[in-house]
Amino acid sequence: MSKNSLSSRDVFTSRLGVIAAAAGSAVGLGNIWKFPYITGVYGGAAFLFVYLGFIALIGLPIMLSEFTIGRKSKSNAFGAFKKLAPGSPWKFVGMLGVAAAFMILSFYGVVAGWSIDYIIKSVTDSFASKSPDELDSMFTQFIEQPGLPIVYQLSFMLMTMAIVIIGVKDGIEKYAKILMPILILIILVLDVRAITLDGAKEGLNFLFHPDFSKLTGEGVLSALGHAFFSLSLGMGTLITYGSYIGNQNNLAKTALQVTVADTLIAILAGVAIFPAVFAFGIEPSSGPGLVFITLPNVFQQMPGGFFFSILFFLLLTVAALTSSISILEVVVAYFREELKIKRKLATILATAMIAIVGVFCSLSMGLLKENTLFGLNFFDLLDWISANMLLPLGGLFISLFIGWYWGREKIEEELAKGAGVVSWLLSVFIFLVKFIAPGAIAIVFLHGLGVFNF
């Protein structure tokens, strides 16, 4: 049967392939671009600690829930709920995920485009002997242009489209397996350089010595939203990938490995960035440009910096690709299975629609900067609505679905495939998805939106 036929579904071929693809989805711009920048905006260590708490108590159990829903249903995010809860409104949870995936990819492609530009800037040695201020204006001038950032964004979307057309096994799995480990190595090298800079200590303090009085409701909501964003949760991605996981795989172990890898890489990225931020006198709260402004300073100050900067931005782009394909796959799987169209057409359609919205995200950095809603430009608005609203809401319903609608017996049956189930661990998992995750999400969500204060 051909890969495009609707009755044959793709599957990941090996255990390593599953982990590489899921970790490839999780590890991306979220870890290296967004995590340091929002940690800077929300004041450092206190934000990090809250984020880590959310990862452990909410992110990990929801990741396992998504894998379970995906593997059991063998369907796209929307179809999964239709299959597991026929005739019920649960399918709208899947719809929420598809909508979030659509929104996220439109601005994600823009940032990935910036990364492509920085590969080129590295190759042409454009950072050489520039001051931190000059590197700052270099970034701002670039993203405000109406032309080049869009060219790069569209090129990135085309690459994403090409890989998704090839399909899961030959496209997604193969690339993720080779490139992820190289990225980790480069970040480690950057860490060593950053923590040996003069004045690095202040940056490490900022990242690891919490001052909880600095935390705001908005900051806590952003930490929650980012836990979802970084682990690729609430957007249908891991339901869709879960549907390609074979029954011989141990889902709990995979979820744990992916969560740990994702979190470690974010922290390593923070260790590369914050010491340098302080050493070069950059504002930690400078926003989306933080990584693009800080790291070129570091590259200038290290032996082989020219070479490392090329490699870093190249791998950042690849990390973005292994994430973007997983987001596009959500929309494509939905189009294929619900609208009954072939993979190729579904992919082209989805890419075109997302890329067009992306063009407006890019323009909202410059030409359309003044057009704001709630004080946010179009790019920030899509980011805020998806990460801080749609993803936590999706997560809330997923945990309710697994914890209350499905219940212990069905969970145990699915998790027992490919693994021995440890009874007390199962009880902990059920307790988390039944009470802690939905309760905490509801409180943080309402508090962050200013519905109540305490």
State the minimum distance, in angstroms, from the CB of residue 229 to ligand LEU: 6
C-alpha 186/C-alpha 380 separation (Å) is: 29
C-alpha 228/C-alpha 26 separation (Å) is: 10
State the minimum distance, in angstroms, from the CB of residue 183 to ligand LEU: 12
Interaction site with ligand LEU (CB under 6 A): 25-26, 28-31, 104, 229-230, 232, 237, 323, 326-327
Q: Given the complex with ligand LEU, which of 63 and 359 has the nearer CB atom?
A: 63
Bridge partner list, 376: 373
What are 344's two structure tokens?
């190729």
State the minimum distance, in angstroms, from the CB of residue 279 to ligand LEU: 26
Phi, psi (deg, nearest 5) at residue 376 = -115, 140
Q: Given the complex with ligand LEU, which of 194 and 391 has the nearer CB atom?
A: 391
State the minimum distance, in angstroms, from the CB of residue 319 to ligand LEU: 7
3-state helix, strand, coil in the chain (%, to 5): 75, 0, 25
State the minimum distance, in angstroms, from the CB of residue 403 to ligand LEU: 24
Q: What length does the chain have?
A: 454
State the minimum distance, in angstroms, from the CB of residue 236 to ligand LEU: 10
C-alpha 254/C-alpha 246 separation (Å) is: 12
State the minimum distance, in angstroms, from the CB of residue 267 to ligand LEU: 13
Question: Helices 251-279 and 217-230 sit at what angle, rounded to 10 degrees?
Answer: 120
C-alpha 190/C-alpha 309 separation (Å) is: 10
State the minimum distance, in angstroms, from the CB of residue 323 to ligand LEU: 4
Q: Given the complex with ligand LEU, which of 29 and 143 has the nearer CB atom?
A: 29
State the minimum distance, in angstroms, from the CB of residue 237 to ligand LEU: 6
The set of residues, in sequence order, having a beta carbon less than 8 Å from that of 413 and lying 6+ positions away, is: none
Q: Given the complex with ligand LEU, which of 33 and 378 has the nearer CB atom?
A: 33
State the minimum distance, in angstroms, from the CB of residue 324 to ligand LEU: 7
Q: Given the complex with ligand LEU, which of 154 and 316 has the nearer CB atom?
A: 316
C-alpha 359/C-alpha 237 separation (Å) is: 23
Q: Given the complex with ligand LEU, which of 21 and 302 has the nearer CB atom?
A: 21
Bridge partner list, 28: none
Quick count: other Cβ atoms within 10 Å of Cβ 427? 11
Q: Given the complex with ligand LEU, which of 106 and 326 has the nearer CB atom?
A: 326
Q: How far lies 135's CA from each of 289, 290, 296, 360, in Å?
A: 10, 11, 8, 25
C-alpha 225/C-alpha 220 separation (Å) is: 9
State the minimum distance, in angstroms, from the CB of residue 9 to ligand LEU: 21
- Per DSSP, helices labelled H in 172-304 are 174-195, 200-208, 217-230, 237-242, 251-279, 290-300
Q: How far lies 441's CA from each of 65, 401, 429, in Å?
A: 15, 14, 16
Q: Given the complex with ligand LEU, which of 227 and 411 has the nearer CB atom?
A: 227
Q: What is the Cα 448 distance to its own chain's centre?
A: 21
SS3 at position 373: strand
Q: Given the complex with ligand LEU, which of 26 and 272 has the nearer CB atom?
A: 26
Q: Given the complex with ligand LEU, which of 45 and 328 has the nearer CB atom?
A: 328
Q: Given the complex with ligand LEU, which of 31 and 249 has the nearer CB atom?
A: 31
133-141's contacts with Cβ under 8 Å and 24+ in sequence apart are 135/293, 135/296, 135/297, 136/282, 136/286, 136/289, 136/293, 139/289, 139/292, 139/293, 140/289
Q: Given the complex with ligand LEU, which of 26 and 84 has the nearer CB atom?
A: 26
The set of residues, in sequence order, having a beta carbon less than 8 Å from that of 350 and lying 6+ positions away, is: 102, 328, 331, 332, 335
The DSSP secondary-structure symbol of 439 reads H
State the minimum distance, in angstroms, from the CB of residue 436 to ligand LEU: 22
Residue sitting closest to ligand LEU (CB): 30
